[in-house]
Structure 1
Amino acid sequence: MKTLQILLTLLLFSCCNDSVSPSEQSPPKLLVGLSLQQYKNSSFGIDGYIDGLDHAVQNGINMFGMSPEWNVLEPSPNTYSLQDNLTNPLTLLDQNKTKLDSYIIVLKMIDTNIKLVPDDLANLDFDDPEMINRFSLLLDKIFTEVPSIERVTHVLIGNEIDGYLSTNPDQIQQFKTFYLAAIQQIHALNPRVKVGTIITFNAAKNNPILFDTFKTEGDFICYTYYPTDEQNSTPWQMRPPSDIKDDMDWMVQNTGGKPIAFTEIGYTSSTDNSSSEQQQSDFVQKMFSSMKPYINSKNIEFVYYHGMYDYPQGFCNQYAQQQGVDPIHICNFMNHLGLNNWETGLPKLAWFTFIDELRSINE
């Protein structure tokens, strides 16, 4: 699923004195994230995001993230546009560096079903030397010239790469070559930064060749996880929350010993998708209880929940058109995915469960 341009926040639930720098506090048991979709009456522009972030920080948020597309960061060859997508989030949202401990970046040259590279590279394979060199130059620009880039702890190369690679299987090995080059480059620029890519849970289960190709590389395995029923003839129907523990066990136990992470994890409250507000709340409770053994054994890098609010009206139709998917069922799913209502801003049952579970993890 497409993430918003300013989408990732990772969350630590701990009571913080504003006079104490996050770096001076004890490390969290778990970094958990919450995407900052705004609601109908949010303030416009950066003020709305700061309001949303502050509300989340009051409930424990300590990491923020960005998910820019390569063709936006490099709109023409060797010309870069980094201010809005990277510099501003790194410098404006937490100017005193007291709200947030760290940041994460998802660099999207693949975003689910689509390839998002600069126009002059669109017809090249991912392992073409020019493709690799140009991305290397972008990485160098980011890691040497973006202010406060030292606050970034994790970088993801591509979002839900299985979507594009499943329909372009000839590009699997080519993208692996590209991915390995990116890992090497980022580790050389900053060895402290952990690098991975993102695959959907359903593809990890159902396309083991693709999953096995990438799970051996990188510093951790990153999933997007929405427990939809792949056996149902109607798409985007939810499986019961009772399935979550088995899914979580599988995701941890099939990584070859690497930790896991989630850039998206969520559950719709739409009755049209075999769910409800109560069922969404049950999912949140089951999700965290299933994670607890792996949190204690440090098998989970971070969790990013999707998201603070439902998507705004009209967003999903645009997204479905861009991705080339039928909007009917996915839009029912997406329009009720948040923990709070888009129209009113009021919390759903799952919001209270979310806060309770975070508190219990970090007590």
Structure 2
Amino acid sequence: MGWTLTLIATLLLLACGGGSSDPASEAPQPPQSQPGVLSISAYYYTEPAVTGSDLLQRYLQAFQMVQDAGATGQFQSYRWSELEPIVGVYNKLSDFSSTMNSAQQNNLTQLLGLQVINTVTREVPAGLGATAWDDPAMINAFTGLLDQLLPSMQGRVTYLSIGNEVDVYFENARMDELAAYKTFVSAIQTYLENRLPQAQLGITVTAGGWLGSNVQSWLDLTANTDVIITTYYPLQGDFSVQPPTAAAADIPALLSVVTDRPWVFQEVGYPASTIGGSSEAMQAEFVRQVFATWRDANGRIPFLNWFLLHDFSTELVDQFVGYYGVNNPNFRAYLDSLGLRNRNNTDKQAWTVLLQEAESFR
């Protein structure tokens, strides 16, 4: 779901971006006294609707709120197809550069997602939709994009994800593509080894994938990655919620799947809608459970990003329902209520609890 954050980046970066074009020698690392870097996806409130300079102020307010809460990390993602809609034709490079500069200027530890797959579909340039992942044309196109991005990434990216929630894509009758995708990622890892040495590379797999019946496939896929990256939304198969206490069992279970590398939690979230069987109180309890489990993880989760500061706009929820192709009231309710705060700029119980829990990290 992380690709949505590119929809809110541009105005914020106009105000907070810029800075030196000289990369730092190393990307920021989490303080050793904390269980890891806290990040909060800083989506702004959308009601009442505004445009122009008032909208800019909402971007800035959201950014300031997460920093005031103690967030020292940032998760940002781009679909390959939006950066390179046609092979060799590049888009949004100035936005990308501003994102990288802003993270450095604000001393943020950055997780960057380059989504060649986004959950349910390929996000590749036009003309590569049917090309095998290990085809030289596919690999060369992506390394060509990297050549455009590397000057902005160097010294600014700590964690790099190649593909978002890829298990969902492959499990939809595409398991025969797995070996080729592993070759693709391996080629990218080799390409970046000396060009982006400080970045730790991984592939984002859902928590359901790691705890599901095809776990060996994802273990094989990520056998050579630097970190293990996951998204965690504790939902039932019909998109209703699991109890908030599920985190106390699920997170240790995830950490037991792979024990030799750090775990990066790209997105952690829990809806508050009663339609899916939840409530504000349950969402708040989930926040407590996650923080408690994170503290007990002994530093094995160096980066955790909460998704999301404010609820998505109704219009954006409509877009997501169409993109993911899931016509289910619980799914809509899940997307509609992930925010720690309401879209009308009021707190949910979860935001109050998060502020309390984050304060204990300082």
TM interval, shorter chain, is 0.7 to 0.9
The answer to whether structure 1 residue 158 and structure 2 residue 163 are counterparts is: yes
Letter in 1 for 2:282: Q
The 1-side partners of 2:256 and 2:62 are apart by 35
Aligned to 2:90: 80
The 2-side partners of 1:85 and 1:301 are apart by 27
Q: How many residues align?
A: 339
Distance 1:357 1:159, change over 3 A: same
Preserved CA contact (<8 Å) 1:7 1:66: no
Preserved CA contact (<8 Å) 1:227 1:239: yes
- Residue among 214, 237, 243 paired with 2:246: 243
Aligned to 1:189, the other structure's residue is in SS state coil
The answer to whether structure 1 residue 89 and structure 2 residue 89 are counterparts is: no
Please report how far the alpha carbon of residue 347 of structure 1 lies from its aligned counterpart in structure 2 after TM superposition.
0.7
Deviation digits for residues 219-260 of structure 1 (CA, Å, limit 9, x no counterpart): 111111011123xxxx11111122211101111111142111
Aligned to 2:66: 56
Distance 1:242 1:65, change over 3 A: closer
Distance 1:7 1:247, change over 3 A: farther
Please report how far the alpha carbon of residue 47 of structure 1 lies from its aligned counterpart in structure 2 after TM superposition.
4.5
Letter in 2 for 1:213: D
Preserved CA contact (<8 Å) 1:270 1:336: yes
Task: State TM-score, norm by structure 2.
Answer: 0.87
Task: State TM-score, norm by structure 1.
Answer: 0.87
Deviation digits for residues 40-61 of structure 1 (CA, Å, limit 9, x no counterpart): 2476555532331122112222
Q: Matched residues, percent identical? A: 25
Q: What is the 5 A alignment of 1:1-363?
A: 1=1, 3-6=3-6, 29=34, 30-40=36-46, 41=48, 44=52, 46-91=56-101, 93=102, 97=105, 99-144=106-151, 146=152, 149-167=154-172, 168-206=174-212, 207-230=214-237, 235-294=238-297, 297-342=298-343, 344-360=344-360, 362-363=361-362
Letter in 2 for 1:73: L
Deviation digits for residues 1-58 of structure 1 (CA, Å, limit 9, x no counterpart): 353133899xxxxxxxxxxx99799556221211122212476555532331122112
How much is the aligned-residue C-alpha RMSD, in angstroms?
Answer: 2.5
Aligned to 1:121, the other structure's residue is in SS state coil
Deviation digits for residues 321-361 of structure 1 (CA, Å, limit 9, x no counterpart): 1122224221111111110001x21010110111111122x
Deviation digits for residues 138-188 of structure 1 (CA, Å, limit 9, x no counterpart): 1122113x3x64211111101100111112111111111111111222222
Please report how far the alpha carbon of residue 94 of structure 1 lies from its aligned counterpart in structure 2 after TM superposition.
6.1
Deviation digits for residues 69-114 of structure 1 (CA, Å, limit 9, x no counterpart): 11111122212224354112223x468x2x3333221001100001
The 2-side partners of 1:116 and 1:334 are apart by 21
Aligned to 1:272, the other structure's residue is in SS state helix
Distance 1:100 1:8, change over 3 A: farther
Q: In structure 1, list runs of 5 or more residues that go unmatched.
A: 10-20
Preserved CA contact (<8 Å) 1:33 1:63: yes
Preserved CA contact (<8 Å) 2:239 2:331: yes
